[in-house]
Amino acid sequence: MADDTKNEGPGKNTGPWEYGFETRTIHAGASPDPVTGARSTPIYQTTSYVFDDVDHASDLFNLQTFGFIYSRLTNPTVSVLEERIANLEDGRAAVCAASGHAAQFLAFFSLLSPGDEFIASKNLYGGSITQFGVSFERLGWHCNFVDPTDPENFRKALTPKCKAIFIEVLANPGGVIVDLEAVAAIAKDAGVPLIVDNTLATPYLCQPFHWGADLIVHSTTKFLSGHGTSMGGALVESGKFDWFQDGRFPTMTEPDPAYHGLTFAETFGDFGFTMKARAVGLRDFGPCMSPQNAFYTITGMETLHLRMERHIANAQAVAEFLDDHDAVSWVSYAGLPDNPYHDLAKKYLPNGAGSVFTCGLKGGYEAGIKLVESVNLFSHLANVGDTRSLILHPASTTHRQLSDEQRTAAGAENDVIRLSIGIETADDLIHDLDKALAAT
């Protein structure tokens, strides 16, 4: 970085010099506090902000200038996190929310009207299946679930009312890796945005915008925060989707009565979608991220690249151990050479196949319950992406509200164990599992 004059800062790759991913995890979006000189981003624990004068206030409320009004909409600490996530995803802009589910809600609320449809992979986190298949139905938004292992299934499911395609590039919990480039091509042909949940991969492993995605959602609660302390979600836009297509996206292209007829796609251009999600979705439904959670997530992201390296190395070692264990019938980890998604992992996840995967126990449901109750170092809880190693029996917890058919479709059958491998000593994790498996 000898010639810093080539670049305005780590968040702005405007010149010949482009800062590396590791540098951007630490610096993007942040700078010393101009008043106090504080180097770490402060927690702006405030609800509201003083206006310069009446004209300044009216310009802010009319979205004619940028600034801070009320922390339900914008907060300086949260804004740093939004810029950092957008930067790491090579996106145009981001808006943070109270959880990953809140971010998904903001995405679909900004897209859909009652009677609209979207297509989603059936290999999703169980809570997303319920959100899409049950709660969204009450809002008049219909989801068609398809098998993502053949991208053409998305094309076959297209209807005139379809407004989006949604996938997890690295599925939770089944470890399915979707052919992102192929699905993006289908979405482009259909003129609908591809929304990618990048929670398990993180931008360290995969940047979906490089493969044709249009929107990205994250549960920042997981790897981005990384320490099991802070709830949050994020919605990121590429800035490249054309909303002016045959009048298909009136929420973006028609005048908004709440803002004196302002049209979000026309007024804000390549960051119009996140502005719509913020100025309408956050304003009217209120799922904002707290500044304290944003602070913890910013801090956690500074070590994202270091943690992910260890997560992946440990996951590979544990997966290889389980693959040879007598009590285990199968292991679904794309880092194993005989895994059906191994080649897709090398294409889309060149730095490693992640650290969340599943295995099947020969003893079935009862063995699964016994295992999660017998571990010592692993924590039995409903989360992933922690520095600590975590274990779960989805059929009795996160996916228990689903039918047997839905659990099978989601890769959460009765014998399935989900593991989120942390950054401890790998031999200790293997020893803990070995003792617990003996008890099954």
Quick one: pLDDT band at residue 399, thresholds 50, 70, 90? Answer: low
Are 190 and 199 in contact by the 8 Å Cβ rule? The answer is no
Are 88 and 21 in contact by the 8 Å Cβ rule? The answer is yes
Bridge partner list, 143: 118
Tokens of 306: 């270091």
In this predicted structure, the answer to whether residue 407 has a pLDDT above a threshold of 80 is: no
Bridge partner list, 95: 235
In this predicted structure, the answer to whether residue 262 has a pLDDT above a threshold of 80 is: yes
- Identify which has the larger pLDDT, 364 or 292: 292
pLDDT the model gives residue 381: 92
Quick one: pLDDT band at residue 424, thresholds 50, 70, 90? Answer: very high
pLDDT the model gives residue 172: 84
Tokens of 348: 């889309």
In this predicted structure, the answer to whether residue 208 has a pLDDT above a threshold of 60 is: yes
Quick one: pLDDT band at residue 12, thresholds 50, 70, 90? Answer: very low
pLDDT the model gives residue 16: 63
Are 234 and 220 in contact by the 8 Å Cβ rule? The answer is yes
Q: What sign does the CA torsion over 105, 111, 115, 119 have?
A: negative
The predicted model gives 298-303 an average pLDDT of: 98
pLDDT digits (tens, 9 = 90+) for 156-175: 999 999 999 999 999 987 78
In this predicted structure, the answer to whether residue 140 has a pLDDT above a threshold of 80 is: yes
Quick one: pLDDT band at residue 17, thresholds 50, 70, 90? Answer: confident
pLDDT the model gives residue 335: 97
In this predicted structure, the answer to whether residue 11 has a pLDDT above a threshold of 50 is: no
Which residue ranges make up each domain of the chain? 40-299, 305-439
Reply yes or no on domain 40-299 having CATH 3.40.50.2000.
no
In this predicted structure, the answer to whether residue 150 has a pLDDT above a threshold of 90 is: yes
CATH number of 305-439: 3.90.1150.10
For residue 323, count other CB atoms closer than 10 A to its CB.
15
pLDDT the model gives residue 400: 67
* Distance (Å, whole) CA 180 – CA 166: 11
Tokens of 177: 């890796």
- Show Cβ contacts of residue 58 under 8 Å, excluding neighbours closer than 6 positions: 64
Instruction: Pick the closest to residue 110 from 231, 246, 260, 214 (CA basis).
Output: 214
The predicted model gives 115-130 an average pLDDT of: 93
* Distance (Å, whole) CA 313 – CA 261: 53
Tokens of 292: 């304290």
The predicted model gives 326-336 an average pLDDT of: 96
Quick one: pLDDT band at residue 245, thresholds 50, 70, 90? Answer: confident
